[in-house]
Amino acid sequence: DAEITQSPRHKITETGRQVTLACHQTWNHNNMFWYRQDLGHGLRLIHYSYGVQDTNKGEVSDGYSVSRSNTEDLPLTLESAASSQTSVYFCASSPYKNTEAFFGQGTRLTVV
Amino acid sequence: QQQVKQSPQSLIVQKGGIPIINCAYENTAFDYFPWYQQFPGKGPALLIAIRPDVSEKKEGRFTISFNKSAKQFSLHIMDSQPGDSATYFCAALLGGSARQLTFGSGTQLTVLP
């Protein structure tokens, strides 16, 4: 079955380190998104991509970057991890011109 | 700034009760309003969705009521069950080429047995 997977599921890192969270989908969806989830804030959009080589900043993009070299993957990089980036991160994908977004299981990141 | 405001933050009902979760939006360019359900340790999953040209949509025990003039929409869960205990998010999608979801802050629902 097609799916979207995130790795790792849990990560503890130190302040200042570079961290990359992986997202891989097998639906061949054009659209991919990264959100962070924090209590009281719901899900906030970090970055998104509408296709290969396309990346765009979302509402809370500072300190994060993404790259899209193929349809299946959208890795999220924290350039220099900060304690404020401790959160649960969700990757999602959706078909072109469709509306439903499919979410991964999430990555819980702790920055100490 | 695009916003979707959701209330209440948490809700506790008895089994069989009808919890109601409310959302309000500001941007009239939103053209699709989904609700997502999230269980602990899982990603959100689409529950039900509505477009602004419809005032109500039902899927099983879940109903969305939509008031376009008031820019409000709500989720009703009929005959709620303990298995409905989860976090619910409303969301809104802008029309046009920018297909990004804006989420509400979430409601943690607990249905007591």
pLDDT for the residue A64: 98
pLDDT for the residue A78: 97
Facing residue for B43 by CB, picked from A58, A100, A103: A103
B62: left (phi over 0), alpha (psi -120 to 50) or beta: beta
> Is a pLDDT exceeding 70 seen at residue A100?
yes
pLDDT band with cut points at 50, 70 and 90 for residue B22: very high
Q: A91 and A33 in contact (C-beta within 8 Å)?
A: yes
pLDDT band with cut points at 50, 70 and 90 for residue A95: confident
Any B CB within 8 A of A88 CB? no
> Is a pLDDT exceeding 70 seen at residue B98?
no
Q: SS3 of B54, please?
A: coil
pLDDT band with cut points at 50, 70 and 90 for residue A6: very high
Q: B66 and B56 in contact (C-beta within 8 Å)?
A: yes
- What is the bridge-based pairing of β-strands A19-25 and A4-7? antiparallel
Instruction: Give phi and psi for B13, each to the nearest 5.
Output: -135, 160
pLDDT for the residue B97: 63
Nearest Cα of chain A lies from the Cα of B10 at a distance, in angstroms, of: 11
Task: Please report the residues numbered 28 through 57 in chain A whose beta carbons come closer than 8 angstroms to any beta carbon of chain B.
Answer: 31, 33, 35, 40-45, 48, 50
Under 8 Å CB-to-CB from A61, ≥6 apart: which residues?
A46, A47
pLDDT for the residue A39: 82
Any B CB within 8 A of A24 CB? no
Whether residues A101 and B46 touch (CB distance < 8 A) is answered with: yes
- Interface size, chain A vs chain B, as Cβ–Cβ contacts under 8 Å: 51
CB contacts of B6 in chain A (<8 Å) are: 42
Closest among B21, B45, B13, B36 to B107, alpha carbons compared = B21
- At B27-38, the pLDDT tens digits run 888 889 999 999
Any A CB within 8 A of B10 CB? no
